[in-house]
Structure 1
Amino acid sequence: MKRYSAILLASILFFAAPVLAQQGTGSIKGHITSSDNRPASWVTVLLKGTKKTVTSDEEGNFHMRGVKPGSYQLEATLVGYESALHNVTVEENKTITVNLSLQVSNQELQEVIVRTSKGGYNARQGSASLRLNEPLLEAPQNIQVVTSANLADQQIISMSDGVVRNISGAVRLEHWGDLYTNIHMRGSQIQAFRNGFNVVSSFWGPLTEDMSIVDHIEFVKGPAGFMLANGDPSGMYNVVTKKPTGQTKGEAGITVGSFGLYRANLDFDGKLSKDGRLLYRLNLAAQNKKSFRNFEYNDRYTLAPVISYQVDDKTKITAEYVYQNARMSDVGSFYVFGPDGFAQYPRNTTFMQPGLEPTKINDHSFTVNIQHDLSADWKLTAQAAYYNYNQAGTSMWPSSVAADGKVIRSTGLWDAQSEMTLAQAFVNGTVQTGRIQHRILAGLDMGNKEYYADWSQSHALDTAGGEFDPLNPNYGYPGNGYPVWDRSQPLKTRAIAIGGDISQKYTGLYVSDELGFFDNRVRLTLAGRYTYVSQINFGGDPEEAKRVTPRVGLSVNLDRNTSVYGLYDEAFVPQAGHTRNNDKIRPITGANLEFGIKRDWFNGRWNTTASIYRIMKNNELTGDPNNGANENYSVVIGQKKAQGIEFDLRGTIIKNLNVVANYAYTDSKFTEVAQGGVYKTGDVVPGFAKHTVNSWVNYKLSKGVFKGLGFTGGFSWLVDRATAEWTTKPSAMELPDYFKLDAGIFYERDRLRLNVNVFNVLDKYLYTGSYYDWLSAYYWQAEAPRTARFSIAYRF
């Protein structure tokens, strides 16, 4: 470890050296407010006569780096409002401070912001945790952002609650209901990140985030390990949590809905010191949620305080704690099994046995982030996090399914614990060498992850001759009684005894240089990452692996609002699992080739991205389709290829009309198979839809007696779906097409917003599922029938 730390230090010093020696450029920083002195966020700032533009952040601040000495005119623009102009003179190695004011009332400005920029559907910048020192338009990769307005308009309350409709090609298999998110994209399950950290510690985690803590969600398509942490070749999503904004404000909301949904949330944002250096943000949420299936429930409680302190003009420290508590019914009860085909029973059929103990989850995370401006053009960021997840519960699965449909239900113990200690440090900035501009990123990523689980105990609820009949269910006292679990030993001891432990230690070093030519209209990215990992896969001795993965990208501005890009990069992802033959588990390797075009329309009111890609992925593990009850074996796939095209549109098309629309064609097949594996060359990869089409539209009346009234709605359409798992039964390999229509109405005036949405308007029987050969049975998980939600929110 010392050797790798030394390499990192040398890398950072090498790239930070220009901070001390750089000559020839200066920078402009400033603050933008409305006419009543409120921060104006997401305003475009242009240095006239150059190609340099930046966007103000949520606090109204902006920082334009790498400006050549000279006199300029600075212009701040927001769609529909007069520009603010200011003359500036830039000197070498100095930062000029400028304060700009938009001559418009705060109420009008907020309405524009809410519906066209920050609160709209189009984000032009990524979060600081993406490490991008440039607008999304210039990044040589397909990056899509689900904004806070998306989440609010669609009444999304957790990561597993319809987020994927906003991203081309993203699908969710509903695995374990609302416990885990598990999103598939570009032919594979993508990695889950939070604030730049990879927070996956097992096949299933992490716990799906409650939306009360979420500001927005960033989807990065293709490998992203060069700028964050180890990531899958297919992509990742990064949940960005809420932070203090420097404004004194708050919001209270209540949501009620069909099938026993009751939810309340509070958001406090403000200052703890008169000088505004010490800020806070506090989010609270409580939820009781039942189901359209009897006896199911999922109650959640969330607490998320954040404190930030501006030490001086150069240094800021932010500390964040997130606590999520979940109390839910047996996590396997979402599934239904039958011998004769999918959806053979009524949609509300449940195998759940009332009286089983709840699954209890306590999820804690602590994060500290330090940002320090080394100079006008260079910034150092360091952050560390500790994640602790504890689960005590059960998972129901049948031990047999008879030809007449009767089953013996079995519930198994599923106690689990995860601990992750994560740390990152990186520098990014700009250097000018002659006529070439360099955007440089260099850093270190380290992690220590441990996961323990006990699934060794199971209990049959039913008996031979007293099987459970889905057509005539009896939910009285089970024939074989309720289980009594042996938890006399600590979880770690129990897990190690059955080989239920996973651990991983890794170190990554990465360097990226984006060279800008012709006044930064042409940008060439050269990057590389070195990753070393030591891991234990369900017991045994540690296994080590290391690899250097390169990245080459090219992005060209055809004009101020249009760019084309090409990208080649590779991925190296450690993975955990064990096979029946105790084969050595190799890390996932993959290569991605991608081309695309991006355009901002009408000064960034809306944006389109079109991309075409091909991903080759090797050594990936998947669940063994022959797993019986309480078995967790894996099989090695070999190699698979995913290729396709994607199109995303998001933003304000015309005044007050916000749209998200996307389409993806995905073709994912096995190109090589491991010897003795369960797949054949040419087989379709399970878990995706060949065609996905999504839309969401929001329109608000701005004049007349009905001012503030709005209408919203959209659909999701999945065509040619593959099942969730591989099976030898041809009739079970494909799922029927999926179409879901949602619609709603809202009223927004001053500080009050009322919102009603109806989901699954057509009341279709929607589900995902597959077939288990060892059970000789189909299984599926149904989605809710027609459902309504009403929410009321008040800003103060």
Structure 2
Amino acid sequence: MKNIYLISVLCFSLVIVSSLSLFAQTQGSIRGIVKTSDGNPAAFVNVSLKETRKGTVTTEEGTYQLKGINPGTYTLQITFVGLQTQEKTVSVQAGQAASVDFALAESASQLSEVEVTGNNQVVTLGKAAIAPLDLPQMTGVVSSVVIANQQASRLGDVLKNVSGVSLTQQRGGVAETFSARGYSIGIAGAGGNIFKNGVVSNTMGFPEASTLESVEVLKGSSALLYGNVSGGLIINMVTKKPKFDFGGEVSMRVGSFGLYKPIVDVYGPLAKNLAFRVVGTYEQSNSYRDVVKTNRVYVNPSLLYKLGQKTTILVQGDYLKADFTPDNGVGSLNLNQDAIIPNVPRSRFINTSWAYNNVKQTSLSTNIDHAFNNNWKLTVIASEQDTDVSAYGSGVPNNNVSATGDWTRTLSRTMTSEADYTGQVNLNGRFNTGSIGHQLLVGSDVVGIVSKSTAFTVNYGTGKTSYDKINILNPNLYEARTDIPDATATTRTTSPSTRLGFYVQDLISLTDKFKILAGVRWSQQKTVQTTVLNLLTQAETRGAAETKTDAAFSPKVALLYQPIKTTSFFGSYANNFTINSGVDIYGQLLKPSIVDQFEAGVKNELFNGRITANLGVYHIVNSNFAQMAPLKADGTANADANVKEFTGQTTSDGLEIDLTGNLSKNFYFITGYGYNYMRYTKASLVKGSPIEGERLTNNPAHTANATIFYTFDLPQLRGLKLGASAFYTGNRFGGNNNTYGQTPEFSRLIPLTGFTTFDVSAGYGFRKISLLAKVSNITNTLNFLIHDRYSIMPIPPRQFTATVSYRFK
């Protein structure tokens, strides 16, 4: 019976395969290449048949292929944001491949100039080069044109252009923290939420945004592709790549508070198959904050080698040296145990006059791309990044500033380093099974991180346990010390960790209208027991926490419906996981918490891609939020905050809207709106558990952005450029969330009102020279970014910035 069953299944399979093969032979295909006027491949150009809904985008090599086409005569058209549509007639015959090539009127450099908004571009962070309408996830892309027009220097300046994303904290003035969909991401490579060219990046010292090609954002869960990452967003910074035509640009940027910043960008061929690019900048400036200064050097060299027609090797390096003054903002007053923002000048500085934070960072990466043919491509990436930080200054004013402003300062000396290692392999392929199309991604990645932290003891002087006393309301009340006490290194703690993942994803085109994206990832994260070296005795011990290994599966499934080729509806389920510390009531290490996400939306590309209109809604639930357990295993009361149970829950609901347009290469606009309601939805009524129904801190309910730029082309005004931007951050809470039974009983929240800043720009370009000036925060609005209850940083006041540039070829 078993043999009869196996024979029947085999015969049935052969019949199905033969039928599919016969069916495929009754259809034809179209393939070709799209190039720019200077012979370079035109990547990510939309290619479609006018009479049907079949379409695709060109690869990075400019090639395309449409399969499963019934015999007949069709109109093949190509579209690209900001360009006129091109059309050609093509005849398709059964079992044959028709070849149709296109040549754009624009050169490669002109093509990059019209990629202004970038919102209809393929997000490289997605690993599979899926077309925007086929990606069931809200995204955001800010191009180099927008970055240059807004004269943005920091990552936070750029991300204000992405709906639902907000800069919520500046921890000690040395790093930025961002929030989206109720979840925050910070600086450390160990967090794995910020990437550069697709690999984990530590952003301590502020990455140099002014030299980037683009910044990409994937919102919601991206655990399928990247493992243990935030459920709110991940960010990818894309650096500028070498070109085989010689050219470049030199700029000088000046501005308020002594800003002085030259920028150099040079690229060109070194040989027939070898091209280079060097981007660099130097920055020196003071600040609207007293005492604060910045001195930065950044260099980004890269080489691109074409090994034959199918293989490219890209080597990129980074060097950043950032010396700046750490700044905890204006501090807070403890009035009846409530944290109150003091009424002091925006410039008031409360750190020591000699405080410093010096960052040195280097990175090296190699990308190898090999195209087996037009449908299959292998990508291999290897990278290393080293970050060293040396800092010294006062500790944080956390709950220890009196109601009258008195603060007894202690000092904090730190020295840390982090080494990040990344390996990644991705295989992308396009193929058909009968009339069903597949866009397959199979890959694996590994991230190794080794962090080192040195502890110090500070010699305040004979008989002294603190540095000095100041008054943050009246600096003249006490005399502040200006000497720098000796600090002795005592211990160095080494903390290694590794992340490993294997994943598969397939975009299945059932018909021209219905598609399914499905995939799964297996992830393993290992946190190795720390090693503690006593620098005084050279004795080495192990940390208290043991080595911990966590593993989780991260599936994703989505259904897409595209009634017309320019509109896509999608609904998806995905999850991500968060690592938990502590143990359960039986002493076992806690497993990861699984966070479920449901997302639905609609994407539109109107007027040949010149306008994109997208809307997405989401529901994110962490139903396994770890909280302090009320009872031990024996039923007695638990007083150990490290003993936890999965009885808590957080819920995040919201929506995002994007409306962007590039009506011509002279005119573009970017608008966005985001709403989020992130709160605790289940909590135990025990001491230390969060308050049910309370919004999480640092998550504004509403955010909005709008930018418009227009360059005149009329003879009498040719070269004149005007632009304006508005950015809104809604009401939110700073400080810390409240807990049941907290002592003393007072609100730890710091309410913050919403605020809007307006920027206006004007410029003029003549041939190769351009001048652009901007006044930011023109209304001089005052508000604050808060980390915890101590780093209360006023936003920048009204400032002036101007950039003069010379472009050469």
Place the TM-score, normalised by the shorter chain, in its bin.
Answer: 0.7 to 0.9
- What's the secondary structure of 2:397's corresponding residue? strand
Equivalence for 1:4:
none
Q: How does 1:580-591 map to 2 (within 5 A)?
A: 584=589, 586-591=591-596
| Residues 1:285 and 2:288 are matched in the alignment | no
In 2, are the aligned partners of 1:525 and 1:553 still within 8 Å (CA)?
yes
Distance, in Å, in 1 between the alignment partners of 2:94 and 2:393 is 65
Structure having the higher Rg: 2
| Residues 1:663 and 2:673 are matched in the alignment | yes
Distance, in Å, in 1 between the alignment partners of 2:100 and 2:250 is 35
Distance, in Å, in 1 between the alignment partners of 2:93 and 2:795 is 59
In 1, are the aligned partners of 2:729 and 2:755 still within 8 Å (CA)?
yes
Q: Residue 424 of structure 1: CA displacement? A: 0.8
Equivalence for 2:3:
none
Q: Residue 227 of structure 1: CA displacement? A: 2.4
Q: How does 1:221-236 map to 2 (within 5 A)?
A: 221-236=219-234
In 2, are the aligned partners of 1:444 and 1:508 still within 8 Å (CA)?
yes
Equivalence for 1:517:
510
Q: Residue 729 of structure 1: CA displacement? A: 3.9
Cα 1:374–1:103 change in 2 (3 A) is closer
| Residues 1:689 and 2:700 are matched in the alignment | yes
Q: How does 1:299-698 map to 2 (within 5 A)?
A: 299-329=295-325, 331-339=326-334, 341-356=340-355, 358-396=356-394, 397-398=396-397, 400-457=400-457, 467-474=469-476, 478-479=480-481, 481-487=483-489, 494-496=491-493, 501-519=494-512, 521-536=513-528, 539=543, 540-574=545-579, 584=589, 586-617=591-622, 638-653=648-663, 656-673=666-683, 676-698=687-709
In 2, are the aligned partners of 1:122 and 1:651 still within 8 Å (CA)?
no
Equivalence for 2:267:
269
Aligned with residue 749 of structure 1, among 758, 762, 766: 766
Q: Residue 133 of structure 1: CA displacement? A: 3.3
Equivalence for 2:5:
none
In 2, are the aligned partners of 1:212 and 1:283 still within 8 Å (CA)?
no
Equivalence for 2:175:
180
- What's the secondary structure of 1:785's corresponding residue? coil
Distance, in Å, in 2 between the alignment partners of 1:613 and 1:482 is 52
Equivalence for 1:17:
none
Distance, in Å, in 2 between the alignment partners of 1:426 and 1:692 is 36
Superposed CA offset, 1:258-295 (max 9, x none): 1121111111121111x3x2111111111112211121
Cα 1:503–1:586 change in 2 (3 A) is farther
Equivalence for 2:16:
none
Aligned with residue 769 of structure 1, among 775, 786, 795: 786
In 1, are the aligned partners of 2:254 and 2:803 still within 8 Å (CA)?
yes
Distance, in Å, in 2 between the alignment partners of 1:372 and 1:684 is 48
Distance, in Å, in 1 between the alignment partners of 2:703 and 2:334 is 29
Q: Residue 790 of structure 1: CA displacement? A: 0.5
Q: Residue 509 of structure 1: CA displacement? A: 0.7
Equivalence for 1:629:
none
Q: Residue 657 of structure 1: CA displacement? A: 3.1
In 1, are the aligned partners of 2:782 and 2:794 still within 8 Å (CA)?
yes
In 2, are the aligned partners of 1:365 and 1:387 still within 8 Å (CA)?
yes
Equivalence for 2:62:
61
In 1, are the aligned partners of 2:247 and 2:268 still within 8 Å (CA)?
yes
Q: Residue 192 of structure 1: CA displacement? A: 1.2
In 1, are the aligned partners of 2:123 and 2:129 still within 8 Å (CA)?
no
Superposed CA offset, 1:225-277 (max 9, x none): 2124432222211111211233322111111111121111111121111x3x2
Cα 1:247–1:110 change in 2 (3 A) is closer
Residue type at the aligned position of 1:262: Y
Q: Residue 693 of structure 1: CA displacement? A: 1.7
| Residues 1:121 and 2:126 are matched in the alignment | no
Distance, in Å, in 1 between the alignment partners of 2:776 and 2:171 is 21
Distance, in Å, in 2 between the alignment partners of 1:26 and 1:784 is 57
Cα 1:585–1:338 change in 2 (3 A) is farther
| Residues 1:703 and 2:714 are matched in the alignment | yes
In 1, are the aligned partners of 2:56 and 2:66 still within 8 Å (CA)?
no
Superposed CA offset, 1:406-433 (max 9, x none): 2122230121110111111111111211
- What's the secondary structure of 1:150's corresponding residue? helix
Distance, in Å, in 2 between the alignment partners of 1:770 and 1:41 is 42
In 1, are the aligned partners of 2:160 and 2:167 still within 8 Å (CA)?
no
Q: Residue 51 of structure 1: CA displacement? A: 3.2
Residue type at the aligned position of 1:550: P
Q: Which stretch shows the higher mean deviation, 340-349 or 719-728?
A: 719-728
Q: Residue 304 of structure 1: CA displacement? A: 0.8
Superposed CA offset, 1:320-344 (max 9, x none): 1111111111x24435233452241
Q: Which stretch shows the higher mean deviation, 680-689 or 127-136?
A: 127-136
Q: Residue 553 of structure 1: CA displacement? A: 0.6
Residue type at the aligned position of 1:741: F
In 2, are the aligned partners of 1:122 and 1:606 still within 8 Å (CA)?
no
Q: Residue 582 of structure 1: CA displacement? A: 11
Distance, in Å, in 2 between the alignment partners of 1:571 and 1:169 is 19
- What's the secondary structure of 1:345's corresponding residue? coil
Q: Residue 513 of structure 1: CA displacement? A: 1.6
Residue type at the aligned position of 1:612: V
Q: Residue 82 of structure 1: CA displacement? A: 6.4
Cα 1:226–1:80 change in 2 (3 A) is closer
Superposed CA offset, 1:479-526 (max 9, x none): 484221214x6xxxx232xxxx4332121111112211123x211112
Q: Residue 732 of structure 1: CA displacement? A: 3.9
Cα 1:364–1:617 change in 2 (3 A) is farther
Distance, in Å, in 2 between the alignment partners of 1:733 and 1:679 is 16
Cα 1:459–1:680 change in 2 (3 A) is farther
Distance, in Å, in 2 between the alignment partners of 1:788 and 1:537 is 50
Superposed CA offset, 1:97-131 (max 9, x none): 76533347x6xx966863xx41x113322244422
Cα 1:584–1:654 change in 2 (3 A) is same
Q: Residue 678 of structure 1: CA displacement? A: 4.7
Equivalence for 2:792:
780
- What's the secondary structure of 2:241's corresponding residue? coil
With the length of structure 2 as denominator, give the TM-score of the two structures: 0.83
Superposed CA offset, 1:325-364 (max 9, x none): 11111x24435233452241111111132233x3211111
With the length of structure 1 as denominator, give the TM-score of the two structures: 0.84
Distance, in Å, in 1 between the alignment partners of 2:153 and 2:429 is 37
Alignment: residue pair count: 733
Distance, in Å, in 2 between the alignment partners of 1:578 and 1:296 is 43
Q: Give 5+ residue unaligned stretches, structure 1.
A: 1-20, 623-632, 773-777
Cα 1:99–1:350 change in 2 (3 A) is same
Residue type at the aligned position of 2:469: E
Cα 1:510–1:123 change in 2 (3 A) is same
Q: Residue 734 of structure 1: CA displacement? A: 1.6
Aligned with residue 35 of structure 2, among 32, 37, 57: 32
Cα 1:466–1:217 change in 2 (3 A) is closer
Distance, in Å, in 2 between the alignment partners of 1:762 and 1:634 is 48
- What's the secondary structure of 1:296's corresponding residue? coil
Distance, in Å, in 2 between the alignment partners of 1:465 and 1:506 is 42
Q: Give 5+ residue unaligned stretches, structure 2.
A: 1-20, 186-192, 531-542, 628-640, 739-744
| Residues 1:722 and 2:733 are matched in the alignment | yes
Distance, in Å, in 2 between the alignment partners of 1:607 and 1:39 is 24
Distance, in Å, in 1 between the alignment partners of 2:287 and 2:223 is 38
Q: Residue 730 of structure 1: CA displacement? A: 3.5
In 1, are the aligned partners of 2:79 and 2:609 still within 8 Å (CA)?
no
Superposed CA offset, 1:142-175 (max 9, x none): 1111111221111111213x22321111111232
In 2, are the aligned partners of 1:26 and 1:376 still within 8 Å (CA)?
no
RMSD: 3.4
Residue type at the aligned position of 1:669: R
